[in-house]
Amino acid sequence: MNNKLRNRFITISSVIGICLPVLFYGCGTGGDSKDAAMKQKPSLPVMTVNLSDAAVTTCYSALIEGKVNVEIRPQVDGTIEKIYVDEGAFVKAGSPLFKIDDRVYSEQYKSALASQHAAEARLVVAKLDEEKLVPLVQNKVISEIQLKTASANTHAAQAGLEQAKAATRSAQVNLDYTVIKAPVSGYIGKIPLRLGSLVSKNQNAWLTLLSDVSEVYAYFSMSENDFMRFRQKYTGATIQEKLRQLPPVSLIMSDGTRYTEKGVIASISGQFDQTTASVRIRAVFPNQHGLLRSGNTGKVVFESPFHDALLVPQSATVELQDKIFVFFLDTGNKVRQQVVTVSGKSGNNYIVSAGLKPGDTIVIAGIDKLKGGMVINPQKATPGPKDSKALKVK
């Protein structure tokens, strides 16, 4: 009996040893299939696009200039005798800036004035000669021709006096030019010359640059495409009518801070620059406190509001051959590529005008490995803060 039991135990153990690997192999194969199926359905975040308000903010690099920039130049020859101002000073219109040695011009004025006095005396004598001949002609003591001659001498003396007065005024003007005054109120720029420097009315170099910055002009260039969109967006028969509909613009200064005053678009150049394919535009900003100066740089900021716009994150799009695609979630959680039309940017979002409608669902991450027709496991994404104020820098 013991031998029979032992043989039976050995037989059962052999059968179990053969079946167990087969059993475990079968279980392992089922698990791998399940994992593979899960890998074929990646879990990706999705979002439903809806209508919302947005602001498209566009920036253009600008060069700032004063409303009036006057190159101060000498109008007479001589040496600089005095400099009344310093670089960077604010001066009012009519204030003296430079004094040129006036001794030569003072003597010329005195000489012209003396000639004028002599001409005045000659006129007085000519009139007396004419007046004393009148009764003689009336009494027929002398001929009338003598009176006419005297009258002609009076007119000649009168003309001589007028000529002498003109020479005096010219000498006075040259004398006045020796004191160079500010034609407008503004700030003094660089003064390259110093006391004793010889200047000439024909020289190319200016004495200083005077800038009236009570208002400043911010000049920037707009591309041809942007200009065409501007013309289509705003109504009006002329450019000036369209400009009047533009909202105020802002200015971001070179340090990144926003200028406190708003500006307006005042003019657009009449032609495009063929080299850059852009048009020059001028914005005007008030500058009562003189914070902005000629030569400053900055960015002119346009803010265009959009109502009921479809916003799609830029990170959820793919650009290929000048087209922009999103992965649209279709029936059965299948994804397919969808071409969308973008009409602008709002921060990190695209404003989509065609290709999607409210309520559509798109994949917003992991799209670099997606292909049309793939099935995914969609995960609803939590919407983040609305970003519609970021700057687009050109």
* Domain containing residue 189: CATH number: 2.40.50.100
- What is the total count of domains within the chain? 3
Dig out the tokens for 130 from the structure. 């004419």
Clarify whether residues 139 and 197 are in a common domain.
no
| pTM for this model (two decimals) | 0.61
Clarify whether residues 249 and 377 are in a common domain.
yes
For the stretch 58-96, pLDDT in tens is 889 999 999 988 999 999 999 999 999 999 899 999 999
Clarify whether residues 146 and 289 are in a common domain.
no
Q: Could you tell me if residue 20 is inside a domain?
A: no
In terms of Cα–Cα distance, which of 83, 73, 61, 116 is closest to 296?
61
Q: How far apart are CA 265 and CA 268, in angstroms?
A: 8
Q: Which amino acid is at 318?
A: V
CB 356, CB 326: distance < 8 Å: yes
Q: Could you tell me if residue 36 is inside a domain?
A: no
Clarify whether residues 91 and 80 are in a common domain.
yes
Clarify whether residues 119 and 244 are in a common domain.
no
In terms of Cα–Cα distance, which of 97, 99, 102, 147 is closest to 126?
147
Residue 254 burial (CB < 10 Å; 0-12/13-18/19+)? exposed
Task: List the chain residues with pLDDT less than 50.
Answer: 1-2, 5, 9-13, 15-30, 34, 384-394
Clarify whether residues 185 and 136 are in a common domain.
no
Clarify whether residues 266 and 390 are in a common domain.
yes
Half-sphere exposure of 8 (CA within 13 A, CB side): 5
Rg (CA), the chain: 45
CB 80, CB 194: distance < 8 Å: yes
The pLDDT score that the predictor gives to residue 208 is 95
For the stretch 353-369, pLDDT in tens is 888 888 888 888 888 87
| Domain of 86, in residue numbers | 74-101+178-205
Clarify whether residues 309 and 170 are in a common domain.
no
CB 64, CB 292: distance < 8 Å: yes
Clarify whether residues 317 and 339 are in a common domain.
yes
Cα separations (Å) of 176 from 180, 191, 316?
8, 21, 72
The pLDDT score that the predictor gives to residue 40 is 64
Cα separations (Å) of 131 from 155, 160, 249, 361?
13, 19, 76, 111
Q: Could you tell me if residue 38 is inside a domain?
A: no
Clarify whether residues 166 and 279 are in a common domain.
no
